[in-house]
Amino acid sequence: MIVMKFGGTSVGDTRAIERVAGIVTERLTQKPVVVVSAMAKVTDQLLTMAKAAGSGDRKTALKLSRELRERHYNTAGELLGTALFTEFHSDLGDDFESLDELLRGISAVGELTPRTTDHVAAYGEMLSSKLVAAALSAHGLLSTMVDSRKCIVTDNAHTRATPLFDETNDRLRAHVLPLLNSGRVPLMGGFIGATKAGITTTIGRGGSDFSAAIVGAGLDAEKIEIWTDVDGMMTTDPNICPDARRIKVISFDEAAELAYFGAKVLHPATVLPAIQKNIPVYILNSRNPSCEGTRIAARAPACRNFFKAIAAKRRITIVDVAAPRMLLAHGFLKSIFDAFDRHRIPVDVVSTSEVSVSLTVDSNESIPALAADLAKLADVKYEGRKAIVCLVGENLREVPGIAGRVFGELSDLKIRMISQGASEINLTFVIEEDAVPWVIQRLHRVFFSELDPAVFA
Ligand code: ASP
Ligand code: MG
């Protein structure tokens, strides 16, 4: 069997859901289990209405709920045709009645707890999974909606619950396998689960990819397909280099390094349960289903190119902290990181000398307050309009002299920080933001003009 997960845009409207039906039909012989997100933007809207209700604004909450009801009714009407829709209409209607009841309750109390938040948020996937299951059936596929709250068992850390894998795997086998064996297409909502006591939970925003991995790992899937609206991972940003190429296969570690730069495609950490079981994960494009996408594998195959990808992140600020009096003293770095911790500002790149440290942070963090705090320890300077450039590839581990080649190409560039180490598969440096386009273009020309056809499209 395989798992096919479709994200919010892939089930965002009638045409998108029809495409899903076509794509699933083509995979029928592989015994798919389908996992869907809520329709695009629905989770945000549900959280907005939950907050409105929590602040006592019942009217706004119910108005937003009406809009959501209309969108689902309209889509269902278009997908199902009159006869089926009439049947489905009352089922959907019951869900919206209970959502409204919930919103009224929240606004009467005027308090929104994480537990109630999950109750509201779960409607997105509950509705989309029913809708898509009905649409698949209307397309002649034997599809059955499986309530994820009966299968995905989690702890009670509401809004970011952690699955209890043993219990979950047992339940998945009990609920899903019989359907597969009778030739049906089980269809589940991502993102949602329930505690052992049956209280609805959610597993964190963007959690449907994680759900797909949980289902795939629990049922020993042959592969997991994550259907999105891009062709897969690219050698670099095509807006900077129009000749950027698709990466056919990338290791989990490489993909994890790149996740920080291109959050649009999935965050690999969410598919870890699958990778740990050596189940390959594919990123595929539901608008271009014949494209073979990107495969994320536990280990990368040999590649003749040094790198898999070049990425850049702009809007970075460098914070320089220098304390000559700290020469040979211990505890300097700790006191600096403590300050970042107190201000809850994450640090990305670090480089140090005996008496100074340079760190990068996102420019939209509140840096002046941090700097004032750090100034009690040392001399502090900070400077915005910087960018992090990162080259990723497993070959960095093995092949000597790669850093020399990279910086040789950039000998006319002012480089502010350099970092290689830690994961051993990335070479990271910090430059002026304005230099990003030509730096990426030049490196891409040098390192990606001849591509290993086994790895790149
Ligand atoms: N619908 C959820 C969200 O928007 C989960 C997902 O789409 O992955 O966060
Ligand atoms: Mg997503």
Residue in 3, 191, 229, 267 to alter for ligand 1 test, most ligand atoms within 8 A of Cβ: 191
Q: What is the pLDDT, as a whole number, of residue 131?
A: 97
242 belongs to a structural domain: no
If you average pLDDT over each of 226-235, 264-273, 420-429, which comes out highest? Answer: 226-235
CA-CA distance, 265 to 141, in Å (whole number)? 29
| Residue 75: CB atoms within 10 Å | 23
Give 448 or 265, the one with higher predicted confidence.
448
Q: Residue 403 belongs to what domain range? A: 309-447
pLDDT confidence band for 144 (50 / 70 / 90): very high
Q: Helix (H, G, I), strand (E, B), or coil: what is residue 451? A: coil
Q: Whose CA is nearest to atom 2 of ligand 1?
A: 206
CA-CA distance, 396 to 190, in Å (whole number)? 36
- Which residues is 163 bridged to in the sheet? 154
Mean pLDDT score, 121-135: 97
331 belongs to a structural domain: yes
Q: What is the pLDDT of residues 283-339, one digit of tens each?
A: 999 999 999 999 999 888 889 999 999 999 999 999 999 987 765 567 888 889 999
254 belongs to a structural domain: no
Distances (CA, A) of 310 to 259, 408, 424, 426, 431: 12, 16, 15, 10, 14
Residues 145 and 42 in one domain: yes
Instruction: Give just the sign of the alpha carbon dihedral 275, 277, 279, 285.
Output: negative
Tally of domains in the chain: 2
Dihedral angle of Cα 149, 152, 156, 162, to the nearest 10 degrees: -150
CA 208 to ligand 1: nearest atom:
8
Cα 192 to ligand 1 centroid, rounded to whole Å:
9
Residues 330 and 222 in one domain: no
CA-CA distance, 56 to 111, in Å (whole number)? 8
Q: What is the pLDDT, as a whole number, of residue 422?
A: 60
Eight-class DSSP state of 340: H
Q: What is the pLDDT of residues 380-434, one digit of tens each?
A: 999 999 999 999 999 888 888 888 999 999 999 999 999 886 668 999 999 999 9
Residues 221 and 326 in one domain: no
pLDDT at residue 246 is higher than 60: yes
CATH of the domain at 13: 3.40.1160.10
Kindly state the tokens that stand for 376.
Answer: 């009690």
Lowest model confidence (mean pLDDT) among 110-114, 261-265, 437-441: 261-265
CA 124 to ligand 1: nearest atom:
1
Q: What is the pLDDT, as a whole number, of residue 423?
A: 65
pLDDT at residue 275 is higher than 60: yes
Eight-class DSSP state of 163: B
User: Considering the chain, what percentage of its residues have pLDDT values greater than 70?
Assistant: 98
Give yes or no for a contact between 433 and 387, defined as CB atoms under 8 angstroms apart: yes
CATH of the domain at 408: 3.30.2130.10
Q: What is the pLDDT, as a whole number, of residue 330?
A: 77
